[in-house]
Structures are given as structure tokens and as C-alpha cells.
Amino acid sequence: MPAKLTTTIKNIDIKVANQTNRQIIKEFYQYLQNIDTSENYQNGLLKVLIRYAEHIGDNITFYLIQEREQILDFLNLKRKTRQR
């Protein structure tokens, strides 16, 4: 069963160890609410940001992400590979 938006919001505090990243994700959530996006859309984006924050770890903030490869490495981990 997919996680509800309320669960995903709670996971920001539970799963994102870096305080700066946690605050950025919360501010982004407020922005998504202000521009009247759907809960499903908000939920999907927040889940990805939480997973990315977990991936980069406690010592790196989103502000320190400068290289495209830093993001692509994470996204490539999520790609499904063809099994022959």
C-alpha cells in the first residue's frame, strides 16, 4: 500500500538526518501547497527528496550539490534494468 501524504510528511523528520535538508524539504512542501498542487503530486516529490537526502547522508546539504553527476548517480540507482 502506498504511503499517504501525512505519513510522508512525518518521514521528513524521521528519515532526513540533516537539519538543513529537512528544513528545505519542509519549505518545498509549503511551496507545493501554495501553488495548489495535488496531494498525490506532493507526495511523489517529497518521497524522492527524502530518499535523495538519505542517499547523500548526514554531512551533505542540498546546497552543496553542485555537479549534475551527484544527482544522476542517485537517479541511476533507481532505474530498472532489463533482465533477459
Distance CA 48, CA 52 (A): 6
Report phi then psi at 37, rounded to 5.
-85, 160
Q: Name the percent of the chain in helix, strand, coil, to the closest 5.
A: 70, 0, 30
Mean pLDDT of 49-71: 96
Residue 41, CB half-sphere, CA atoms under 13 Å: how many?
8
Mean pLDDT of 5-33: 97
Mean pLDDT of 27-42: 97
Q: Name the pLDDT band for 83 (thresholds 50, 70, 90).
A: low
Residue 81's pLDDT is 75
- Is the pLDDT reported for residue 80 higher than 90? no
Place of cell 527528496: 49
CB 53 within 8 Å of CB 18? yes
